[in-house]
Structure 1
Amino acid sequence: MEHEERPIAPSLGVDVVPVLTHALRARGQDTLTALLLLVLWTGFFAVDMASAPEGGPPVPIWSTAYAVVCFVHWSAHAAAGRGSAAYVVDKRTLRQALRGSGSPRALSVLLPVGVPALTLAYWVFTFWSLSQGVNNWVGIIFPLLLAVPVWMHRARVAAVMRAELGQETFAHLPRPFPTSTYHRRIAQAIDREQYAGLTIYDPSRPFIGMGLPYEPWSFALELKRRKGADTSGGSLAPFTGRTIVELIRPRLEALRQAAAATSRDRLKDLEIEEFVYLPVGPQRPQVAYDDHTVRRHLAESVNEGGEARRYFLRVRVGAWDEQVVVSVLVRVHTQGGMLVLEVVPHVLTPIRPEFRAVDVIAARGEEDLLRDGVRAFLTAPAAGFAAAVSTVRSAVSGFRTWLADPRRAVPDGPADSVRELAAAKEVSLFQEMDVSRYVKTVQDRIASGVRDALRSQGYETDQFEQQIVQISEGGIYIGAMSGGAVAQGAGAEAKHLTGSGGGGR
């Protein structure tokens, strides 16, 4: 929201507009909860000061003590990496979360025990003081009242998750769209950009939205005519990047058809499309994403091999219900008697577990009031402080946006992707095996397409076959690259042998 001058990154397997709509709705709910809590906290401090013993200073003892409890609860959640949401849905224990976030061992042991102990100490001391004749009803009633807005907030969020965000209901409901004029303008810009065949990029931040790079490689090959080949050129079409792309595409399509006919492998849903990256230039509203403009950029960039505008053939496999997305970007161009091939695989890792908790809540059905009330009471200390932090951040963000006036800012490329921000850091062993298989299979079809393109044009293929060798371990060895060698795959080793004309193991 603070950078309206930045276009959105390519959206792979996700519609960003509903994400934006529900995020704005959640922010509004957080703000409402924070305002209700602010009213209660104001009353808590006022009544606490008014009930101070006569003859002494009006010190808010109980409200201050409970504020410390709330701050410690929120700090523990923040240390565990749970953010500042008023509704915490992470199913991990605090100890597990702290261990996963790289916290010191002492902190991961102390906080899960110390936070409940501090809360228990507050309530024990409160009731003990009451039994001793101290008039401290304010220290009991207001903490219970502070749990009511959290209870209401949890009930509203759970109702939205059950009624609108469940897997069975989301697809059948109308597509949510922001209501305010400002946010509708942003949503309309997202609709133009997220599935277009071109995207704007910043040179220092390429491939935003594609995920993590997965062993990218490239090579340059001198084109040499095969002995005995017809060099008259009369029957041969010009050997260009488009020529090679048109030979690669049928092999990928055949791979998709074969997978669909013989198995349930995700390769049957393999997507093939042409894509072009444009450097930052005009203002965001001035960039055209219509079909005619996109086709023109694709036609002009496929053979130019320029540094700024870059053409790629994008091959995408959405596996594990779109939790693991493999994208292989292929760029090929022929200039100056050279063939240059660049293959850039990327992997989007699964959504973090806390985001998938919506499925658990949606499948749970109607909540038991007593059970949900107890949950609200136990999470109220952290949730109340989190709602306040979230509201303050929203206010600061809104002020910064107004101050910066991003519509008139210098044009810029995407800096983040919503899907990447929600992704986990690791994949399971099964998922890693699938990713490796998808990438190797697609790369094999790419290599065969390039080889056939060379043969059809009467060029030698021996050097090409020597430079790209697929072995049983799955490594790809590339030789004769600027006097060096590259070896890929687990346990691979590359050595440069002077005078050998290539790389070896």
Structure 2
Amino acid sequence: MSESPVPGQRADPDRPDPPDRPDPPDRSDEPDRPDEPDERYELDPPAPPNRPDGPGWSDEQDERDEADRPDRVTVRSPVRPEASEACRYLCAGTHLDKRFRDTVINELYVHEERFAAPSFGIDAARVLAHALLARRLELRWALAILAVWVAALPLTGGEFLWIMLPSLLFTAVSRTRRRLRRASPLLRALGTVLRWYVTLMLVAAMLTMFPFWDEARQLGSGLLGLLLHPPAMLFSFVPWRELSAWIDWPDPLVPLYVPFLVIAVLVGLRQGGFARLMDGPLSAAHFPDPTVDPAEAVRDGRARRLLALVRREQHSPLAIYDSADPFRGAGEPYEPWTLTVELRPRAGHQPEPVDNRAALERVRPLVEALRTPSPHGSPRAAEVVRDRLRELEVDECVFLPPDGLRRREEAPYDAERFAVQRREAIEEGGEARRHFLRIRVGGWEGELMVTVYVRVHTQGGMLMLEVAPYVLLPVLREFRDADRTAHRYVHNSAFSKAVRALTRTPSSLAGSVALLGGWSGSGWNVAVEGNRGALPEGPALAVRELGASDEASLFEWMDVRRYLQSIQERVGEGVKHALYDAGWQTAAFEQKIVNVSGGVYIESARNSAFGFGERSTAVTDNNTNRGTGNEQRRQ
């Protein structure tokens, strides 16, 4: 990896420090002075030239020059979290993935004692609203399908039982197959034999329903009797005839195929419901407008109250955290590092105390300057720049544990109480309550989120700089393909839709029972566990992390590294400026920051010891400094 000199580097490390304001005009071999103007970080654009007098000047020329003023370059705001593509995909995911939907409901609806994790680039409340909507829709379809299954028994004189039992066995074997993938070869072979046995039983039961094909019905009846003989012998102790005589089935009113086709129609309509959602409120055109979203029309009082709490907490600069994972919601750590430096006064200067606030105030404008596009001749040309750094967000956040709170509503989220928390936390350097400068960049329509937490603290003549980068990878591929899934279904042939519905009909009975069981279990937990009166807890899960993929494309990783390198360069430069302004040594340092296998170390520095990494070490002498940091690779 190529090495690039750090601003402020001199060619000769043994050369003495230059005076504060060197007289020689040629200062190319001297370090950059943070208190002198630096073209790279010039934030205030020059004033526009005065309008000349004369007949050659027109109002149109005045308007063009007004638009071409450097200060006319606007700062772009990031996409609203509730309207981002990442949020849309997660809302679609609640309709696609039952496990994801149930987890979201359990975290944000059942466990109402837990604070909501920070939501970067999404609105977790809107995802929860769609999870509740998806569950309501699934329950309606499940009740309708289950009602037909049950009603089919008396309508067919009990003969539909020979369809119901193989369907249940087929569903059970299909689910067991997934669990046997890592089992022993003997168990896998046994599972294969059982799967084929149940499949043949289901096919035989289907053949008995053919109304106008006597040969098929005879073949199905004979095959079904042959297949049922082994389990009948195995359970010979069961009085089958007595049970059959005890159940007085009425005469069949409808043939077997009628209720089966009705169930197939319901299954097909349920599958088409997702396509209608993706073409309506979850489409890219309609999703930014929450007023047309049926999920927002919540009538449940508990749901309305919890949605309001989530919206209050998820985007607040105050983060109530769980001690097991304080940065939950930000994604995965990406090479965090810590720098420690001895504070030594600069020759000829009386140093001033440098506090944490002063250091961060020097860092913030340099980081915010990353929003400004490089000169492109005119602001009109600069406006076409689409670099996501133009949407960079910088704020100050405070991390608090939930200890001492009786209810979630007592947390100091209001502006006045948060200002007190921030003022007290920034200088105390505490353990439980911590203050960070939070820098965020969202790319790829909010799917890729890069967050850098910066903390500065001075103690015992040392300055400690902590930088914790976090990365949220794109949404799961299955969720991102929701539009394609819906489009494929809508534009598929009628024959294909019919086949899909018929093949999913046997498993609809067990699926409906499972949905009703999950709903009743969730309601039981809400009624019995007493989460509303429990002491508040930190978040156990984050919706955005739950729907994040484990992989990213090369383009996305390139953007991650570019964002992080740009931000961390400005952070280091800002801290250096703060030290220099306070009269401490910085210009005498000759530094080379080199990335080594995910770690960072200072290859050379004078009269100071630097350490990077969790178990960093540093060796100091008058000529060179060698620091080594342990590897911190993102796993």
**Which TM-score tier does this pair reach, normalised by the shorter chain?**
0.7 to 0.9
Matches within 5 A, 1:378-393: 378-393=503-518
Describe the SS at the equivalent of 1:152: helix
When residues 173 and 412 of structure 1 are mapped into structure 2, their CA distance, relative to the original with a 3 A threshold, is closer
Match of 2:438 among 314, 323, 329: 314
Are 2:495 and 1:394 aligned?
no
**Equivalent-residue separation in structure 2 for 1:222 and 1:192 (angstroms):** 42
Deviation at 1:213, TM superposition (A): 0.8
Moved more, 43-52 or 62-71: 43-52
Match of 2:350 among 217, 227, 230: 230
Deviation at 1:74, TM superposition (A): 4.6
Describe the SS at the equivalent of 1:169: coil
When residues 193 and 451 of structure 1 are mapped into structure 2, their CA distance, relative to the original with a 3 A threshold, is same
The CA RMSD over aligned residues, in Å, is 3.7
Deviation at 1:208, TM superposition (A): 1.0
Match of 1:272 among 394, 398, 401: 394
**Equivalent-residue separation in structure 2 for 1:495 and 1:202 (angstroms):** 27
What TM-score results when the alignment is normalised by the length of structure 2? Answer: 0.65
**Equivalent-residue separation in structure 2 for 1:209 and 1:224 (angstroms):** 39
Deviation at 1:148, TM superposition (A): 2.6
When residues 471 and 199 of structure 1 are mapped into structure 2, their CA distance, relative to the original with a 3 A threshold, is closer
**Equivalent-residue separation in structure 2 for 1:496 and 1:339 (angstroms):** 16
Q: Name the counterpart of 2:325.
A: 205
Moved more, 415-424 or 295-304: 295-304
Match of 1:247 among 362, 365, 382: 362
Match of 2:482 among 353, 358, 364: 358
Matches within 5 A, 1:80-479: 119=199, 122-123=202-203, 126-127=206-207, 130-132=217-219, 134=221, 140-174=257-291, 176-231=296-351, 233=352, 238-258=353-373, 263-281=385-403, 282=405, 283-361=407-485, 363=487, 366=490, 369-461=494-586, 466=591, 469-470=593-594, 476-477=600-601
Deviation at 1:377, TM superposition (A): 2.1
Deviation at 1:393, TM superposition (A): 1.7
Which ranges in structure 2 are unaligned for 5 or more consecutive residues? Answer: 1-108, 208-214, 225-253, 375-381, 630-635
What TM-score results when the alignment is normalised by the length of structure 1? Answer: 0.80
Deviation at 1:436, TM superposition (A): 1.8
Note if contact 1:30-1:391 (Cα within 8 Å) is conserved in structure 2: no
**Equivalent-residue separation in structure 1 for 2:189 and 2:483 (angstroms):** 30
Moved more, 103-112 or 312-321: 103-112
Matched AA of 1:278: L
Deviation at 1:215, TM superposition (A): 0.9
Aligned length: 464
Deviation at 1:230, TM superposition (A): 2.9
Are 2:123 and 1:36 aligned?
no
Note if contact 2:442-2:449 (Cα within 8 Å) is conserved in structure 1: yes
Describe the SS at the equivalent of 2:395: strand
Matched AA of 2:302: Y
When residues 21 and 105 of structure 1 are mapped into structure 2, their CA distance, relative to the original with a 3 A threshold, is farther
Note if contact 1:166-1:358 (Cα within 8 Å) is conserved in structure 2: no
Describe the SS at the equivalent of 1:25: helix
Note if contact 1:7-1:413 (Cα within 8 Å) is conserved in structure 2: yes
Q: Which has the larger radius of gyration?
A: 2
**Equivalent-residue separation in structure 2 for 1:210 and 1:109 (angstroms):** 44
When residues 403 and 361 of structure 1 are mapped into structure 2, their CA distance, relative to the original with a 3 A threshold, is same
Note if contact 1:166-1:362 (Cα within 8 Å) is conserved in structure 2: no
Note if contact 1:224-1:460 (Cα within 8 Å) is conserved in structure 2: yes
Cα deviation 1:142-201 (Å, max 9, x = unaligned) = 443332322222222321221100111111341625221110000111121111111111
Cα deviation 1:199-221 (Å, max 9, x = unaligned) = 11122221111011111111322
Cα deviation 1:225-248 (Å, max 9, x = unaligned) = 1122234x5xxxx51111111111
Which ranges in structure 1 are unaligned for 5 or more consecutive residues? Answer: 53-59, 81-97, 489-493
When residues 31 and 117 of structure 1 are mapped into structure 2, their CA distance, relative to the original with a 3 A threshold, is same
Moved more, 420-429 or 354-363: 354-363
